[in-house]
Structure 1
């Protein structure tokens, strides 16, 4: 039994250092970077699809009240500005070749991380307020065609959806993206350190 304890103690003292080459690490992060770019591009496409759908609805339907036009305008402006911010961030992570310039890409990734923090915190609330204001103006005319039960249902479901997106969904997205970007930054820091050590 004493021999087993000595072996166990020796094993616990033994540290195994795993070295991964910069090339292997670049292959690992390639998949993650491509996933980040794809997710970013899909977000932009989703926002553009929303913008186009609302613009088509505005062009095809005849609205009588000026409030409806103001509401749709506010909504389109909010979606347009948010889409431009998403595009700016997408360009940031797509402009540098991470296989050739890992240090530059690391810098871009850190800026992207900071921009996403602002986007999901301060800027997000401006977006939600603008969308809510647009919906309120839009509902002035639209809800006049509904009975009391339909009005209550439309207002209730819209409020629940906005609250759900602003709390539970937003927090889950922030947490997942924060972890993903932090892991990428850590990997690029290790790659940069290995490149510096090999020079």
Structure 2
């Protein structure tokens, strides 16, 4: 009942400056991510209300460019005005119950076929579960069971990530809200983010 969103949110996508400019000029579209480890399932990803985190991510991609097919020569941020519409918001208690149910469905399906559940994995020296194979599979299972009658347009989740900013902190330096857009019609427009000026 409360999954349909009213109002608009701002999302920020970290990318190369060339892609940013082409999208703003209408010469190219953002592509849906379909990796098996996508944190919120398949779709177009944005950081909610955090252009600085989007830029940090693009800079991180540039530093690790040897591991990627899409190179970043100049990190940049693309802004988007987004209507989440029918949203699987994983910050809401009732939707976490849907997530649990999706896990049980996936588990039963794989057991029937004699297959193992995918796992979320840490990579390198990080303590974070950066490769979210299990989470992606659970969310995609939910989408597959809902379509087409109750299709989600977007998925939203909050993640704790990074180092602790001070001893005994309850927060981490890279905490963020991420949005995954499944329905590209949720994106109402793109813009070039501006930064604060003195007034």
TM-score (norm 2): 0.23
Query: Higher helix fraction: Structure 1 or Structure 2?
Result: 1
What TM-score, normalized by structure 1, do the two folds share? 0.23
Q: Which has the higher strand share?
A: 2
